[in-house]
A and B are shown apart, each in its own frame.
Chain A
Amino acid sequence: MELLFFYIFAAVILGSAVMMVTRRNMVHAVVWMVITFIGVASLYILLEAEFLAAVQILVYTGGIVVLFLFVIMLVNLGDIYQVEWLHRQWLPALLLALLLVTEIGFMVWVGAQDVPAAPEQSEAILRGLGGNVETLGMALYTDFLLPFEVASMLLLVAMIGAIYLAKKRV
């Protein structure tokens, strides 16, 4: 049952991801991206990471992708339809992509005998603390407090950069 759902969601994710990168219309691409994200959120639920699933939808789908749409609508994208795909580089690109696909395919082929199980420890932590949110909260604010703060700095840096580049010269 779980496997069936996994394959359904995986098919949705992969299908919509392919659709996303092949659309010429940016808005259509973004809509497919939304579907990809919802598929990923469904996979999280399947993995019993409900918090991650909700945050995936709240932050990515409900926030960031809307801003993508916002920017696409504000910026005049008239030219993008005329730009040639893979400007004279389709042959090397194709070869490299094939190489990468072969490599990953080979790894998957060799590795597919049995996919490594998730590490045991997370299971133990989950049982010790009850819910998903509690576990995540405990981990984030004790062991991982430092990277949590560092991550906030990362966002700050990104904000400073964006504001500086966008603001008018004073």
Chain B
Amino acid sequence: MSGADLWSLAPLIVPALAGTLVMLLGGFNANRRLHHGLAVGALAAALLCVGMAYGTAPRTVTPLLIIDSYALFFLTLIYAATGLLAMFARPYLAVREKDTDAFYALLLFAATGMGVLACSNHFAALFLGLEILTVSLYTLIGYLREDSRSLEAAAKYLVLAALSSSFLLFGIALVYAATGTLLLNPAFRAIADLAPQFGQQAEAAWALAGGIFLFVGFAFKLALVPFHMWSPDVYQGAPAPVTALIATGSKGAVLAVLLRAVGPVGLGEIGGAAGITVLAVLTMFGGNLLALLQDDLKRLLAYSSVAHLGYVMVALLAGGVAGAQAMTFYVLAYVLTTLGAFGVVTILSSESPCEADSLAAYRGIGWRRPWLAATLAVMILSLAGIPPTAGFLAKVAVLGAAIEAGRLGLAIAMALASGVAIYFYLRVIVVMYMQEEEDATEASSLPSSFANAVALLVLVALVIAIGLHPTPWFEAVRVAVATILPA
């Protein structure tokens, strides 16, 4: 490994070092502001390093990691999301927990894990990145040690994530046995070559079994129906900033590596298209229909994110360059939007130690907290896919890719599912603007922290800007995808 390699790796090294530093500082100094500042600063520095790494991209550092513009695109998204989360987390934690050093240290380590995932080119890196992320999440989810819901969520996540990791690991072992390589692309290409020979050649059976196990592992992490059971409970129990991390960064990183592995080969080639189509349809309808029944905003958003992952699967199934671009664009829009929505939940929860997650807490909020309510409304509209927001264009891109690939059935299913979804999204807005709160207490109309207000404003601006003027963003996505899938 050379010095130039280290420069390319700087986006991964910076958060890791900062995490260690926060951890060490935590032993001597209980200054919460310092830990918070270090975490946010480190993520900003990491973003800067991402910018610098564009100069040397694409670069393969050891066989395991590849720093190309695709990876850097996702690194930007992940670090920006994590940085914003860290900002939202400060007032939230201030009313709940005195020790915050471990929170920020783990957040930084989780960011590193996600970064490793986004850059991984090898099953070993994939697994290690995923484990760093999930092991950090175990503790982050249970960070409110006195809240039994938080601990319950952590325990549930621990058991199910460990189970899904074992599936993933078994899949990796089988794929290695069949194909003899641990590099992502060659392994999946070998599966694709072996798949048609199923029944004639022994390796084909092993490769396909491995592929299925791998996909089950991924499906657990992405919470696709029927592997979604953990997600509402964990979303509800986890501290709001951590829920946001699970919903945005962790999903984005896993999708990044999934697309890198599968995209260039195409799901259809691997021979799992039929099964995954069923899964995608189930996920879209399951998520949206179950969301109709929720009275808790965090649970509602959990089911909504399940459904959104279904839409992402549609893009993955569509395949080809168009599919990959649509998927990447969808992930971009989804991450920004979800982050904004959870940002509002976090800020509303920072005013008292009780979590603002039941829908009842949002009654009439449109009149008391107009700015926050407007932000949430924009995010909800974007999630519902209503113009002129990023969510709308992302859905259009996915539908277009699906139709172009000739998967008309899937496109129709997706349109129908989105139609169902509008009902519960609008319900949130109705609650906010059209219902009176019983005991209306006067509260300040601006979020408690100036920085957070700016962060939310930026997110709103981005979501609307992407919706109104998508060209530069499409261009960025095109450049990123071109490195893994040359047109």
Instruction: Quote the shortest CB–CB distance from B430 to chain A (angstroms).
Output: 37
Q: Tell me which of B203-211, B265-273, B401-409, B419-427 binds A.
A: B203-211
Cα-based distance from A133 to B423 in the complex (angstroms): 62
By a CB distance below 8 angstroms, the chain A residues around B203 are: 111, 116
B112 touches A147 (CB 8 A): no
A157 touches B102 (CB 8 A): no
By a CB distance below 8 angstroms, the chain B residues around A144 are: 62, 64, 124
What interface size band does chain A fall in?
A: 20 to 34
Instruction: Quote the shortest CB–CB distance from B308 to chain A (angstroms).
Output: 27
B136 touches A147 (CB 8 A): no
By a CB distance below 8 angstroms, the chain B residues around A116 are: 177-178, 180, 202-203, 206
By a CB distance below 8 angstroms, the chain A residues around B135 are: 154, 157-158, 161
By a CB distance below 8 angstroms, the chain A residues around B180 are: 116, 119-121
Instruction: Quote the shortest CB–CB distance from B278 to chain A (angstroms).
Output: 15
A164 touches B202 (CB 8 A): no
Cα-based distance from A163 to B202 in the complex (angstroms): 47
Q: How many A-B residue pairs have CB under 8 A?
A: 104
By a CB distance below 8 angstroms, the chain A residues around B102 are: 160-161, 163-164
Instruction: Verify if A110 is at the interface (C-beta below 8 Å from B).
Output: yes
A111 touches B209 (CB 8 A): yes
Q: Mark B108-134, 1 if CB is under 8 A from A, else 0.
A: 010011001000000011001101100
A161 touches B136 (CB 8 A): yes
Given the known interface contacts A115-B202, A116-B206, the answer about A161 and B178 at a Cβ–Cβ threshold of 8 Å is no
Instruction: Quote the shortest CB–CB distance from B150 to chain A (angstroms).
Output: 11
By a CB distance below 8 angstroms, the chain A residues around B16 are: 153
For chain A, residues 124 to 146, give those with C-beta under 8 angstroms from any C-beta of chain B. Answer: 143-146
By a CB distance below 8 angstroms, the chain A residues around B23 are: 156, 160
By a CB distance below 8 angstroms, the chain A residues around B209 are: 103-104, 107, 111
By a CB distance below 8 angstroms, the chain B residues around A150 are: 116, 125, 128-129, 132
Instruction: Verify if A84 is at the interface (C-beta below 8 Å from B).
Output: no
Instruction: Quote the shortest CB–CB distance from B46 to chain A (angstroms).
Output: 15
A147 touches B1 (CB 8 A): no
By a CB distance below 8 angstroms, the chain B residues around A165 are: 139, 142, 145
Given the known interface contacts A107-B209, A110-B198, A150-B128, the answer about A156 and B109 at a Cβ–Cβ threshold of 8 Å is yes
Instruction: Verify if A82 is at the interface (C-beta below 8 Å from B).
Output: no
- The residue in chain A whose Cβ has the minimal distance to the Cβ of B97 is A169
3 A-B pairs closest in CB distance: A161-B139, A119-B180, A111-B205
**Which residues does A use to contact B, with CB under 8 Å?**
103-104, 107-108, 110-116, 119-121, 143-147, 150-151, 153-154, 156-158, 160-165, 169-170
Identify 8 residue pairs between A and B in the complex whose beta-carbon atoms are under 8 Å apart, listed by A's number. Answer: A116-B202, A121-B180, A150-B116, A153-B112, A153-B132, A157-B136, A161-B106, A161-B136
